[in-house]
Structure 1
């Protein structure tokens, strides 16, 4: 490797910082063959070349667009030019702009309602969570309307404004990212990262809706995999996510109960 080459290659730490990724994520990409550094330093350390960084750029964009790692690998292994990849990525982003504009309008209305302290309407909820919100709420009431958890949830949320629900959605999206980040890093559901994501999920329910013990959380995990609609909701975010979340919930519940029993 020449001195000129050294100036155009980066270490794994430098790449992680430049692309706002973790070193663990880059190592995972290397392990699964998605992105393997092409060069080495005199000391034998792996280095990323400009071509490697171009490939990583495509990986990052495709991941942000919601593609699974397996799908990204198939796309990048297809004999296409960088221009073709960029055109596909641009088309995917443009297709989402209308949705994002609608969401901005919904949030603006939420801000207005928040200023007037008005509870969110059914239409407000549909704008934020989609057309299936009303049906899911109706079904939830039919299934759990006579339970203490449902009554507690109704009592807590009856005064939520649209801005409150927008915040809830933002928090939920962040919780989902906790699980998908663990999945992308190759962490098993029993790992600390996955269990921490499950505990954050439980505490979110506990603070926003109703008291959610570790055992009750297990029941929710079972529902996510036994009810096809819940399974589809999670698996739309990431293939296999529903079962991953359930297993992480179980592992975390065991951890919480074990810690509670300690003197």
Structure 2
């Protein structure tokens, strides 16, 4: 052990042979110069280990040993004439127990009670700590499972098999669409938000989302056929309902909704889906979204994806 450990324990400058860091009275300086931390001799003639030697032996810090000494948890029994702490074999045995109990998660006050209070049941204390550790392991396992699902959701988009996707979203669903969306949007904040939601959903949760989307699509088609005009209260309610339903994927601002509605109209696949419900529905949906955006102070012509 290097001499640095012992210099921190020195009470102050001294004259004579003991003034060199790392040496104690009665020890030859050649020991210190060779890089060893020599065992010292207490005032009663008993030998012991220095703080640095104990720290190395137990793989703890000198600071920890000093702290345990200060609070009376594990004090060295001996001191050299120069004031160095020296630990006896009995001290080391107690320190071993402190280290073991600390590693299994007992607090220092609890360790003191286990070591010093005869009324404290050591076995009961250890069993209680084992139960706490078991509970923590279970929580960590659940957390690990959740992280695995989130990673999978980020990479795949949907944690459903191709058969489950078809059963949930219908025969016209293409199981390749989630992978295509991942390739296109995987580095966006919205994809991260979507993946977090997707990780928590199974087939039943996705079926509820799909049903909400289908009901909204039917309501849009019925409203267009009934002659609902853009900017009317009925049209604006449908636009806000669209934002609420879409929140199952990620939060949708009004500016983003404008961009999305224009994509619905411009993208051949999206426009075909809406126009299959009602001819011209994709364009009408874009119009009611634009009108609702203007009513909320958003200029559709300058809207951006936030």
**What TM-score do the two structures reach when normalised by structure 1?**
0.50
Query: Whose radius of gyration is greater, 1 or 2?
Result: 2
Normalized per residue, which structure has more helix? Answer: 1
